[in-house]
Structures are given as structure tokens and as C-alpha cells.
Homo-oligomer: A and B are copies of this chain.
């Protein structure tokens, strides 16, 4: 049986191959409906070959989720390294996020739709890396606000999670035939967001979101 096991040399590449195709099939037919046999078929890896990488469907779902967050977080850190300007840091964060998930729509869908399918202790570990990613975004956001001196009273959690909302909803509507590419999309989102949390409009009708008490819903 050892002949069917991957050699150490290609282990990481093969794992990435499995994660990619598993995310695809989970995105298509859902985690619950997908059997290990389906995964074997989709990846072209035998059942014993798959077993080398994960011992259960739960573990596989965990690996897909952890792998996606690790990739996004690591590439964000790499691109942010040495960059101090707060607005530029925000641009990098958004650009990195939009680029990753626009090229990984299946992973985005699995992260969003199968969040609750994950059981402990995997669930806790995924929650922890998500938390680290949120905290990076929050820290960058606080940097932007501190640099501009505005945004007092703005609910930072709501602002940051609204930014994630703009980015994480893209997989629902992006159509590459009519919509902008990742860089343009990220730029539009950054501008809306930065104007949004820092700005006052030229007609003076709106205040900063931080002064939300000044305007109320009708």
C-alpha cells in the first residue's frame, strides 16, 4: 500500500491539490452531501491516499478553512511588512483580501456557508485565526483613524465589519465578464470606506459617522 502514498517531495503540492478540489466540490454540493468517495473522485486521489492527509471529513473541512485564512493572513503580513502609512496599509489589506477571494470563490463559499458545519476542536482553531485576521484589520483601521484625528465615537467594530461585509459579499455577485478586476474593485471599496469613515461630503449635509448622534434615522 505504501506505493500509493505520496512521496514526501510532493506532499505539500498534493495537499494543496486536494484542498482545492475539495473546496470546489463542497462549494458545489455542500459539505453534508459530499462523501469521501466523491472527494476521491474529484481529486483523483485514492481513499488510502486521502487518508494520509486527513482522517475525517471534519478534518478536511478544517484544513480548507485554516489553509485559506493562513494564506490570506500570511500574504497580508508579507505585503504590509515595512509599510507604515496607515491608509496605504488599509489599501494593502483590502487589495490582498479581494485578490485572494476573487481567485478563490469556492473557498470563500465554504468559509461562509460551512462555518457552522465545523465541530470542536476545529471550530475553535478556525475562530482563533479569524480573530487574528480581524484584529489585524482593526489595528490598521485604528491607525487610519488616529492618523486623521477623526472618527471619535465611530463604532470601530461596526466599521471594520462593514468593510469585511463589502469584501466578503463579492463572491455573491462578481461577474468577471462585466465587473472590474480585483485591483479596481479593491480600490473602489477602499475609497468608499475611507471616504466613509473619514469624510464629510462637499455639500456639508453629512457628518462623520463618528458624530452619528447628529443625524438620525427618520
B-binding residues in A (CB < 8 A): 30, 32-33, 87-88, 91-92, 95, 112-113, 117, 148, 150, 154-155, 157-159, 161-162, 164-170, 172-173, 178-180, 183-203, 205-209, 212, 215-218
| Residues from chain B with Cβ under 8 Å of A158 in the complex | 179-180, 185, 188-189
**24 chain-A/chain-B pairs, Cβ below 8 angstroms:** A87-B205, A87-B206, A91-B217, A155-B180, A157-B179, A158-B185, A161-B170, A164-B173, A168-B172, A183-B217, A187-B217, A188-B209, A190-B217, A191-B207, A191-B208, A191-B209, A191-B212, A192-B196, A192-B209, A193-B196, A195-B196, A195-B201, A196-B196, A200-B201
A184 and B161 form a contact (CB under 8 A): no
Q: How many copies does the complex hold?
A: 2
Contact of A148 (CB < 8 Å), options: B148, B155, B201, B215: B201
Taking a contact as CB atoms under 8 Å apart, the answer to whether B155 and A166 are in contact is no
Chain B residues with CB under 8 Å of A217's CB are 91, 95, 183, 186-187, 190
B202 and A202 contact, CB distance less than 8 A: no
On chain B, the residues within 8 Å of A209 by CB distance are 188, 191-192, 195
Pair B215/A187 contact, Cβ less than 8 Å: yes
Q: Closest 5 interchain pairs by CB?
A: A165-B169, A199-B199, A196-B196, A192-B196, A191-B209
Given A148-B201, A186-B217, residue A194 in contact with residue B206 (CB < 8 A): yes
A192 contacts B198, C-beta separation under 8 Å: no
- Mostly, the A contact residues are helix
Known: A198-B202, A199-B206. A191 touches B215 (CB 8 A): yes
Contact partner of A212 (CB less than 8 A), chosen from B91, B187, B205, is B187
Complexed CA–CA distance, A81 and B157 (Å): 33
Chain B residues closer than 8 Å to A205, beta-carbon distance: 87
In the complex where A32-B30, A201-B199 touch, is A162 in contact with B192 (Cβ < 8 A)?
A: yes
